[in-house]
Amino acid sequence: MITAFLTDSTLCIGCKACEVACKEWNQVPSDGYHFTGFSYDNTVALGHSTWRHVKFVERTAGVAAPIDGTAGYRSNTFRWDFSSDVCKHCSNAGCLEACPTGSIVRTEFGGVYVQPDICNGCGYCVVSCPFGVIDRRPEDGRAFKCTFCYDRQKAGLAPACAAACPTQSIQFGEIGELRAKAAARIAQLRERGIDDASIYDPQHTSVGGTHAIFVLRGRPEDYNLPSNPEVPTVHLRDGWSSAAVAAGLMLLGTAAAFFMQRE
Amino acid sequence: MPGLGTSFGRGGATMALQDLANADAILIMGSSMAENHPVGFRWVIKARERGATVIHVDPRFNRTSAMADVWAPLRAGTDIVFLGALVNHVLTHGLEFRQFVVAYTNAPAIINDDFKDTEDLDGLFSGWDPEQRQYSPDSWAYKSSDPKVGHEDGHGGHAKDRGGEASPMAHDPPRDPTLQDPRCVFQILKRHFARYTPAMVQEVCGVPPEAFQRVADAYIRASGPERTGAICYAVGWTQHSTGVQTIRTAAILQLLLGNIGRPGGGILALRGHASIQGSTDIPTLYDVLPGYLPMPTFAGDGTSLDSYIAKHRLPRGWWGNLDRYIVSLLKAWYGDAATAANDYGFDWLPRISGDHSHFGYWLEMADATGTIDGLFVMGQNPAVGAPNARLARRALANLKWLVVRDLVELETATFWLDSPEIARGEMRTEDIATEVFFFPAAAHTEKDGCFTNTQRLLQWHERAVEPPGDARSEAWFMYHLGRRLKARAAADQRPANAGLNALTWNYRTIGPHAEPDANDILQEINGRRVADRSLLPGFHALESDGSTSCGCWIYSGVYPSPDRNRARERKGQGRYGQGWGFAWPADRRILYNRASARPDGTPWSDRKKLVWWDRANREWVGHDTPDFGKRKAPDYVPPSGATGDEALRGDAPFIMHADGMGWIWVPSGVKDGPLPTHYEPLESVIPNQLYSQQSNPVADRKERPDNPYAGSPLDPRYPHVLMTYRLTEHHTSGAMSRTLSHLAELQPEFFCEISPELASNIGAANGQHVTISTPRGSVVARALVTARMRPLRVHGRAVHQVGLPYHWGYRGLVRGDVANDLLAISEEPTVRIFESKGLVCRIEVRGPRSEVRDPRAEVRGSEVRR
């Protein structure tokens, strides 16, 4: 069965249970203790030691009320949105394509899995991820990211984050079913007047859809998600073509130089 | 929880968390439920998904506000004005659920002629004794009621959860079902709250009228036969000098709207730890015995078992059974030694001789008056978690010995080594004579036992692994300590040891560490027939002749047979999950659910049916266990001379109360008045706009040199409002979360939340270190500047609020100053809780911690110079 996450930000209460459950199950080390001053987010971004990450987006939606220092109640123009981010497990995964050792594989559940015993720490995957998810651990240089709880899935369990989520903001299941669920959810939210709700599942770009689908409010960029993520290898044809053209031109130039000299 | 206890009869949440999903509106106030009860909050989300309106009224925009449909910020400590204005709005617009109010509340009752309201006496009720600084509740009684008994001085309020202490209420008071009589509760209430208007809300709370209107419309719409609304609160309401009365105001609102005992209607008291409800049911409090039986006092009710029963057994209502419960409790504790001849060992119970509350003894310890030699600290961390924590740490140094049992060696166990007082040189380790014993404790996964959660649900947990090393369970510690003490007492048969010698203490032990069997303990709590030691099916089987024993009558029925522990059952069925755990009393999930039916026994509406009278089979049936006599017909009228539950009519749903009614008016039991009244916090930034009485006259400030207060109103040194609270990422004093990297990294530093406006006023940038000071001390924290905090316009000026999570201390993976150093020890009159919300403070940009001077060091310095 091909599985996926559906992370519904409109149900997320920002409790970070997913972050903690992930770390606990997968024995992910600490990020260190750094106060960022950026809302309630002190783990900052996905990385080698953060495989689930809750974003805290404070923003003024709609027309901002005048701030006179004592405005008091300003209607509900202010919003604080939470969204739990995770590896997208792309259908066309940049990291997997870039990996020269075969350490990164696609599992039978459709997830993208890094085999830590094969990874040699070259870091090609890090620059190839369109979402900035995969990251090298400084101690030994190896790359780490969400395993999609491969071990739990093998045993028939939901990933730790989905199991821990108290409000069903993180759902886990068969990808087709979840895509249908996401569409129904958007329809429901729109019906309630939440017009800025949308699905984030970039099927129109070269990543070809993800195994981590999101329901968001507002633009993906507000959640630090690229609206048009691309697998770096799509640039290969252009790159090689340019190189070929350049080589041809150089050849021509060289030939021309000889020719001109003869004259 | 006397706020709920006096209003409805029992000191527990009236509803279940799951029932929130059935609400049409949910008002969350005095709580950040999403933040501190994230798992329970799923039912709020479920309700919202079903179309309910979620309203959050809170000084801060926090995780709960983010999930709410409506958020209104108010100044901390003004909840009674806001709620009072909602009550006033209901009354002036005639929006009450009239049939419910007339049938099921004491709104029609006529009150004594000599009662005078705070509106007449400028902030005081009649009965005020300025010498003793307390009320006599005589004038608050129902008219031509029975002889008055008065408040018991020594008592705290927890026993008032029974309701009706001051009068036995043997007869119904005169009633006016038209609610027109000027002396009826309804009309008094109307006059009492008449000045609690939207304009007053704006002036005092800082909530503009349109915002108030929005909340009022959204919430009050959820009332009537077809709709219900629920209220959720936590310590944002309780930790005030007017805490009990705030909850009372909510109870009044819910009774007026008919939102009690009905699906999706009720008041959910959100408890802050795994078994805090359990710790009042089987109390760690000084003024109650298990099951909310009052602790006897030294004089008066304590002279004999008969005098105790005479005082506390009510002639009508469920408390007519009090004799059965106290005798069965004594039989459980003293076994064969408890006989009719010796009053079942009643004289071995301790007696209350004064204020033995938590803060009372901490102050005694701080004074080193020599009355307290030693202290056991279990599951607490007062060096960080207690109000005026600095006083607490100094008090610890006056002990001869201190026993700390916890998962980790927390701040309380090392106050002598690395506390701020040691660091600042105010105390020296070599001067501290306290002998500290640290015992590692077993976690809940390492022991069998039972939690009672926020909705009165007993849930069993099983040991998954043996505790590591020397770690042991609380039960192990108390059992073996008791065993050793008893062995000593057995060798010394002084009268003082008689109680200890008589105490039953023979639990079965199991496992490699001789752990007392938790099943044995729960069976003792459940109760047995003395003759054959067979387990009891429930509290209705208890007797007053010594033939039954029961450790806590409200839990009776949890272990009805040796092979059935209902707390351990996990087959939830139906709307309220019956079959999963056991809710006290008698597995009733929604209390007072008789009120979900009309007086004639039919449901108020099909949409909101819960429990109803089955005419054919002549019994109450429905989705929940009826909180009512199963076969007591709706038209039952008690014969003359009936007592106990039989003396209550078939349409009286509040069976714990002597009149069977929900109490809008509390004739006695709440020490600061029969109705809630707004008083400013003990420290405030504005004068009380309603009365010249500034703060709660009955609250005890405990003011002394090491517990000083700012001038009130408006001490220019402390212009801002301060409140402390918790974050999702940490647990209370942080001992369980700052020691774990996965949690510590999520909120790694002590910070305060301030608005961009306040930040610019003091010149602080986001992330900068700021100093926050109160008369008790000062702390340094990082500033988190956020638009989620916003200034309010109150009494014509901008008032800034400073938010301070209190999770940090001087040990653990992440450390920080102790926020509770800023708090004062004060006592709300009825439950003696301190005020942690709505203090005043100063905030300024300061350098690193080492530069911060201790305000008291300055005082000491000047004394030296003199």
What tens digit of pLDDT does each residue of B173-212 get?
899 999 999 999 999 999 999 999 999 999 999 999 989 9
| CB-based contact A233:A130 (threshold 8 Å) | no
As a whole number, mean pLDDT of residues B430-457 equals 95
E-only strand ranges, B410-544:
435-440, 449-452, 457-461, 509-510, 515-516, 528-529
What tens digit of pLDDT does each residue of B601-636 get?
999 999 999 999 999 999 999 999 999 999 999 999
For B470, the 3-state DSSP assignment is: coil
Tell me, what's the pLDDT at B311? 87
* Any A CB within 8 A of B61 CB: yes
What tens digit of pLDDT does each residue of B533-551 get?
999 999 999 999 999 999 9
Interface probe with B: pick from A73, A77, A82, most Cβ of B within 10 Å: A73
pLDDT band with cut points at 50, 70 and 90 for residue B814: very high
| Rounded-to-integer distance, Cα B326 and Cα B315, Å | 16
Higher pLDDT, A22 or B298: A22
Burial A187-212 (b: 16+ CB within 10 A, else e): eebeeeeeeebbbbbbeebbbebbbb
Task: Report whether pLDDT(B85) > 70.
Answer: yes
Q: Which residues of B touch A26 (CB under 8 A)?
A: none
Q: Which residues of A touch B207 (CB under 8 A)?
A: 72-73
| Rounded-to-integer distance, Cα A83 and Cα A167, Å | 12
Count of residues in chain B: 866
Higher pLDDT, A60 or B644: B644
Give the number of A-B residue pairs with CB atoms closer than 8 Å. 119
pLDDT band with cut points at 50, 70 and 90 for residue A263: low
3-state secondary structure labels for all residues of A31-86? CCCCCCCCCCCCCCCCECCECEEEEEEEEECCCCCCCCCCCCCECECEEEEEEEEE
Residue carrying the six token digits 């940038």? B765
Task: Report whether pLDDT(B865) > 80.
Answer: no
Interface probe with B: pick from A12, A16, A27, A33, most Cβ of B within 10 Å: A33
CATH code: domain A3-232 is: 3.30.70.20
Tell me, what's the pLDDT at B847? 56
Burial B593-626 (b: 16+ CB within 10 A, else e): bbbbbbbebebbeeebbbbbbeeeeeebebbbbb
Cis ω on the peptide bond leading into residue B315 (within 30° of 0)?
Answer: no
| CB-based contact B605:B598 (threshold 8 Å) | no
Task: Report whether pLDDT(B369) > 80.
Answer: no
Task: Report whether pLDDT(B371) > 90.
Answer: no
What tens digit of pLDDT does each residue of B552-582 get?
999 999 999 999 999 999 999 988 999 999 9
Q: Which residues of B touch A45 (CB under 8 A)?
A: none
Tell me, what's the pLDDT at A74? 38
As a whole number, mean pLDDT of residues B227-234 equals 97
| Rounded-to-integer distance, Cα B771 and Cα B763, Å | 12
The token pair that represents B571 in the structure block: 């087959």
Which member of B745, B790, B814 has the closest CB to residue A71? B790
As a whole number, mean pLDDT of residues B306-324 equals 92
Instruction: Find residue A81's DSSP bridge partners.
Output: A57
pLDDT band with cut points at 50, 70 and 90 for residue B526: very high
Which ipTM value was assigned to this complex? 0.90
**DSSP-based helix, strand, coil % in chain A, nearest 5:** 30, 20, 50
| CB-based contact B48:B211 (threshold 8 Å) | no
| CB-based contact B821:B779 (threshold 8 Å) | yes
What tens digit of pLDDT does each residue of A101-157 get?
999 999 999 999 999 999 999 999 999 999 999 999 999 999 999 999 999 999 999
Task: Report whether pLDDT(A69) > 70.
Answer: no
As a whole number, mean pLDDT of residues B706-719 equals 94
Task: Report whether pLDDT(B219) > 90.
Answer: yes
- The shortest C-alpha distance from B609 to chain A (Å) reads 27
Tell whether the torsion through CA atoms of A215, A219, A221 and A227 is positive or negative.
Answer: positive
What tens digit of pLDDT does each residue of B448-459 get?
999 999 999 999
Task: Report whether pLDDT(A73) > 50.
Answer: no
Q: Which residues of A touch B206 (CB under 8 A)?
A: 72
Query: For chain B, what is the mean pLDDT?
Result: 92
Q: Which of residues 668 through 727 in chain B touch A, CB cutoff 8 A?
A: 727
Tell me, what's the pLDDT at B853? 43
As a whole number, mean pLDDT of residues A69-84 equals 63
- Judge: A37–B784 Cβ closer than 8 Å, yes or no: yes
Task: Report whether pLDDT(A183) > 50.
Answer: yes
Task: Report whether pLDDT(B720) > 70.
Answer: yes
As a whole number, mean pLDDT of residues A242-253 equals 93
- Judge: A13–B742 Cβ closer than 8 Å, yes or no: no
Tell me, what's the pLDDT at A206? 93
Nearest Cα to Cα of residue B721 among B791, B769, B775: B791
- Judge: B792–A72 Cβ closer than 8 Å, yes or no: yes
Which residue ranges make up each domain of chain A? 3-232, 235-263
Burial of residue A72 (number of CB atoms within 10 Å: 0-12, 13-18, 19+): buried
pLDDT band with cut points at 50, 70 and 90 for residue A195: confident
Tell me, what's the pLDDT at B857? 41
As a whole number, mean pLDDT of residues B490-506 equals 95
As a whole number, mean pLDDT of residues B450-474 equals 95
Domains present along chain B, CATH in parentheses: 2-114+157-165+195-269 (3.40.228.10), 593-653 (no CATH), 720-865 (2.40.40.20)
Tell me, what's the pLDDT at B510? 95
pLDDT band with cut points at 50, 70 and 90 for residue B273: confident
Q: Which residues of A touch B786 (CB under 8 A)?
A: 39, 58
What tens digit of pLDDT does each residue of B420-431 get?
999 999 999 999
What tens digit of pLDDT does each residue of B792-804 get?
999 999 999 999 9
pTM score, whole prediction? 0.93
pLDDT band with cut points at 50, 70 and 90 for residue B272: confident
The token pair that represents B22 in the structure block: 């059935």
- Judge: B727–A40 Cβ closer than 8 Å, yes or no: yes
Which member of B72, B727, B787 has the closest CB to residue A58? B787
Task: Report whether pLDDT(B670) > 50.
Answer: yes
As a whole number, mean pLDDT of residues B691-710 equals 96
Measured between CA atoms, the residue of chain B closest to residue A44 is: B746
- The shortest C-alpha distance from B791 to chain A (Å) reads 5
- Judge: B742–A16 Cβ closer than 8 Å, yes or no: no
The percent of residues in chain A predicted with pLDDT above 70, rounded, is: 93
Tell me, what's the pLDDT at B300? 74
Tell me, what's the pLDDT at B146? 62
Phi-psi region of B122 (alpha: psi -120 to 50; beta: other; left: phi over 0): left
